[in-house]
Amino acid sequence: MRWFYGVTAMMVGLVLWQAIVWITGVPKFILPSPLQVAEAAYTSRALIAEHAIVTITEVIIGLLIGTVLGAVTAIQLAGSQTLQRLMLPILVFTQAVPVFALAPILTLWFGYGMASKIVMAVLIIYFPVTSAFHDGLSRVDTGLIDLARTMGATKNQIMRRIRIPHALPSLATGMRLAAVYAPIGAVIGEWVGSSEGLGYLMLLASGRVKIDLMFASLITLAIITVILHTAVGILADRLSRYAQGVTA
């Protein structure tokens, strides 16, 4: 039912978009119609696919690295009060710096290839994953922890068998956010400096006044993001069900 409403809303939006273009007669180089965008997507399907593969690769690698780093950081922070007092203010402070502003620096350091875009994706998802998982690890019922301690459980055993399983739903929430943010980071990196990827293709199309191709690239990116978010959501749901089974 959720998919039905989503598809219906999308179809209504496309019809309204097409109607606005027909009624106003707005030029193609300002706002192409959905039919013109679809035609451009079909005509340039090989070009779009070539650049989409690059962006998908950057996003998936960045998502994997960012999620692992964020999860490991959250576990380390939750396991050490000293490290938590030292690192949390630094992590919060780093969020005051717009990640987008780092794109030129990352391009300078890592070059115009995939590396700088992957790092950009990692940076943009690292804090949400760390914050969500750390929050989950910090909210575990203290009664369970105290009971485990009275039974002789070590700090590591408590972390592995109680805190992490109970915090998996929070990690799942962070992963869902990361699935949306990672494509943004990759595309921002492609805008700043790249010769491939959907972000680069959008700039190229805009510079050549091929606005229909630019819209086709943008819609392709949106579709990729929705598919990635759905896939990560399925994985996150399984994590949550696993956590419920372990902690039941």
pLDDT tens-digit readout, 143-190: 777 777 778 777 777 787 888 888 888 888 888 889 999 998 889 888
Residue 85: pLDDT band with limits 50, 70, 90: confident
> What pLDDT sits at residue 64?
93
Cα-based angle 62, 64, 69 (whole degrees, multiple of 5):
95
**Domain assignments of the chain as residue spans, ordered by start:** 1-31, 32-247
Tell me if 235 sits within 8 A of 175, measured CB to CB: yes
pLDDT tens-digit readout, 45-64: 999 999 999 999 999 999 99
Residue 2: pLDDT band with limits 50, 70, 90: low
Tell me if 122 sits within 8 A of 62, measured CB to CB: yes
Side-chain-facing half-sphere of 143: CA atoms under 13 Å? 0
CATH architecture of 32-247: Orthogonal Bundle (1.10)
Residue 114: pLDDT band with limits 50, 70, 90: confident
> Burial, 110: exposed, middle or buried (Cβ in 10 Å; 0-12, 13-18, 19+)?
middle
Neighbour count for residue 99 (Cβ, 10 Å): 20
Side-chain-facing half-sphere of 138: CA atoms under 13 Å? 13
